[in-house]
Chains A and B, each alone.
Chain A
Amino acid sequence: MKIMKLKDVIVYYLLKTIKNVGISMPLLFRRMTDIMSKEIHKIEKMLQIEPLSTTDLNNLVHELANLFIKEKLAREIDVKISSNEILIDVYDCNYLYMSEEEINEEKKCPICLIALAASIAQTLIKDIEFNFVEYNIDPRNRKCEIRVSFIKP
């Protein structure tokens, strides 16, 4: 088992406890998306980054992907946007070990930070709404395929 950082262990058990008392991760994910998108300017200040392009989904998702690369959370992130979903291939995510069976019996990450960023992007863009997220983890190639679906009214 990879040695984890204390803050990651604490976040992992925080999420596990929330789930344990009956709050689902998709519900938490959606609520977090809403709160974070409303406080995006505060987050920009906290991270000391340039204002994000909140009018163009393609630019915004790429900006967020670059932010993850810059923060060394993943080695490479490929993004494709279609009419109702964002397809993201993530290589060498720093948190991939969270999906290992000896850490997480469900063999998937408790919350995917990259999917969260994509859903925040969808929430920030007017006229679309985050729908759901699906993951496919390929541990051999250290790759995650993330599908973040959105709704157009």
Chain B
Amino acid sequence: MPFSSKHKISHLRRKLYKFISILKERIPGLEGLIIMRYDGLVIAHVLPERVDEYLFSAIAVSIFSVSQKAFNELNYGDLNYIVLHGSKKQLVISCAGEFIFCFLASRETKLHFILQGIFEISQKISELLKI
């Protein structure tokens, strides 16, 4: 089955845009969020201005895919999420089915808020794909 051939991307986009905008307001310190398909197709995003969503999507998917490959090579099981903790900010990348999402947050943002967000997005996507 090809990527999302049976899924209505436009429908997903409309619903997820609304959902992630609410999520961004709710998680303290969350500065941006992007959801994309494994092939880099941007589904929805609330990224800071001047960020090229297409390039950022490809970078985030690459990071996740390469990390997943590392896990596979080491027989470490499934990769749940990746945290890139920098001197100023942090990125958290995770996946659900054929979708990958990346949270852009301040350094101080508590990881458990982001993990809760990841859980909610996963739930929302599976709920939308069932329709």
Interface, chain A (partner B; CB < 8 A): 21-24, 26-27, 29-31, 34, 129-134, 149, 151-153
Q: What 9 A-B pairs come out closest when comparing CB atoms?
A: A22-B69, A26-B39, A22-B66, A30-B40, A31-B58, A132-B3, A22-B65, A27-B40, A132-B2
Nearest to A134 among chain B residues (CB) is B2
Q: How far does the alpha carbon of A132 sit from the alpha carbon of B5 in the complex, in Å?
A: 8
Instruction: Tell me whether A151 and B39 are in contact (CB under 8 A).
Output: no
Which of A22, A129, A151, A153 is packed against the most chain B CB atoms within 10 Å?
A: A22
Instruction: Tell me whether A23 and B65 are in contact (CB under 8 A).
Output: yes
Main secondary structure of the interface of A (DSSP, over half): mixed
Chain B residues in 8 Å Cβ range of A151: 9-10
Per-position 1/0 for B5-37, Cβ under 8 A of A: 100011001000000000000000000000000
Instruction: Tell me whether A23 and B66 are in contact (CB under 8 A).
Output: yes
Chain A residues in 8 Å Cβ range of B103: none
Query: Is B4 in the interface zone, CB < 8 Å from A?
Result: yes
Chain A residues in 8 Å Cβ range of B67: 22
Nearest to A152 among chain B residues (CB) is B10
**Interface size of B by Cβ–Cβ distance < 8 Å?**
22
Query: Is B41 in the interface zone, CB < 8 Å from A?
Result: yes
Instruction: Tell me whether B69 and A132 are in contact (CB under 8 A).
Output: no
Instruction: Tell me whether B9 and A27 are in contact (CB under 8 A).
Output: no
Instruction: Tell me whether A34 and B54 are in contact (CB under 8 A).
Output: yes
Instruction: Tell me whether A27 and B10 are in contact (CB under 8 A).
Output: no
Q: How far does the alpha carbon of A134 sit from the alpha carbon of B69 in the complex, in Å?
A: 24
Chain B residues in 8 Å Cβ range of A153: 10, 13
Which of B40, B67, B68 is packed against the most chain A CB atoms within 10 Å?
A: B40
Q: How far does the alpha carbon of A24 sit from the alpha carbon of B58 in the complex, in Å?
A: 11
Chain A residues in 8 Å Cβ range of B55: 31, 34
Nearest to A31 among chain B residues (CB) is B58
Nearest to B71 among chain A residues (CB) is A22
